[in-house]
Structure 1
Amino acid sequence: MLQEFKAFVLRGNVLDLAVAVIIGAAFGAIVASLTDDLLMPLLAAMIGSPDFSSNFVLLGPIPDGYQGSLTDYAALKKAGAVMFGYGAFITKIVSFLIIAFAIFMIVRQANKMMPKPAEAPPAGPSEEVLLLRDIRDSLRK
């Protein structure tokens, strides 16, 4: 069983996949930083605030002993308040769309830089077609 596992792990596909996962995780951190540190602040400058998490509807009573702000979504959530947090959802959607667009642009650019595969010349007629043509020509004579 150990030999089978070793053969499985050392196959090219598994190693390629492992490298892809590691690079993907590192790339994810870069894109998250691009979103959080560069694009979301620009969005905040244009529309006022990129973080909509302070937009929520309190669905139940505030837990006993809660001393924090009534507009602090994270603190109310930690305290166990029942809320409809539509603002946090909107923030996640905006962040996802920015990340998806950034990845789209990178993949699009990478596809432009990759060499185009050479088109194979059209294949000639098959042997059967050539034989049928010979028969046809023989019959015409």
Structure 2
Amino acid sequence: MKGFKDFIMRGNLVELAVAFILGAAFGDVVKSFTAIIMDLIGKLGGTPNFSTFVPWGIHIGAFLTAVVAFLILAFVIYFGLVKPFEYAKSKLVTDDPDDVPPTTEELLADIRDLLAAKNGSN
């Protein structure tokens, strides 16, 4: 059971699972939440659609809209998934030094000592 717990709590596995879940299952949910936030921002300071923003003839408005949407998406992901996961991991995983397996050097030293004790008793 400890091995399974270690496998599940491995950082890379969880990061990969979060990325997959976000892309596959929560994509529409996050997009709709982002739209809600963008509407709220629009009510506070105008429509958050910068598509018509063309300074000096350069069409950067769509890019600015995408950047704002990305920042809102990153905010939702960080505070909705990453922080709760870190909190749960800190409560479930302990850094108990007794749970650390001995190193190869420690095992070899123990074998050496046992062999020396056995040869000394003969």
Asked if these proteins are the same fold (TM beyond 0.5), I'd say: yes
Question: How far apart are the structure 1 equivalents of 2:25 and 2:32?
Answer: 11
Aligned match for 1:129, one of 106, 109, 113: 109
> What is the aligned-residue identity percentage?
27
**2:88 is matched with which residue?**
113
Q: Does 1:94 align with 2:68?
A: yes
Question: How far apart are the structure 2 equivalents of 1:52 and 1:93?
Answer: 10
Q: Does 1:51 align with 2:49?
A: yes
Question: How far apart are the structure 2 equivalents of 1:89 and 1:111?
Answer: 32
**Structure 1 length-normalised TM:** 0.50
After the TM superposition, which segments of 4 or more aligned residues of structure 1 sit over 6 Å from their partners?
Answer: none
Deviation for aligned residue 1:88? 1.4
Unaligned runs of 5+ in 1: 1-16, 60-83
**Structure 2 length-normalised TM:** 0.56
Q: Does 1:42 align with 2:16?
A: no
Question: How far apart are the structure 2 equivalents of 1:25 and 1:49?
Answer: 29
Unaligned runs of 5+ in 2: 1-16
Deviation for aligned residue 1:92? 0.8
Q: What whole-Å deviation, never above 9, does each CA across 1:19-75 have from its counterpart, x for those lacking one?
A: x57x74341111110011x2112212333331111111585xxxxxxxxxxxxxxxx
Which structure has more helix as a fraction of its residues?
A: 2
Partner SS for 1:54: coil
**2:31 is matched with which residue?**
32
Greater relative contact order, per chain length (Cα 8 Å cut-off, separation 6+): 1
RMSD of Structure 2 on Structure 1 (CA):
3.3
Tell me how many residue pairs correspond in the alignment.
Answer: 93
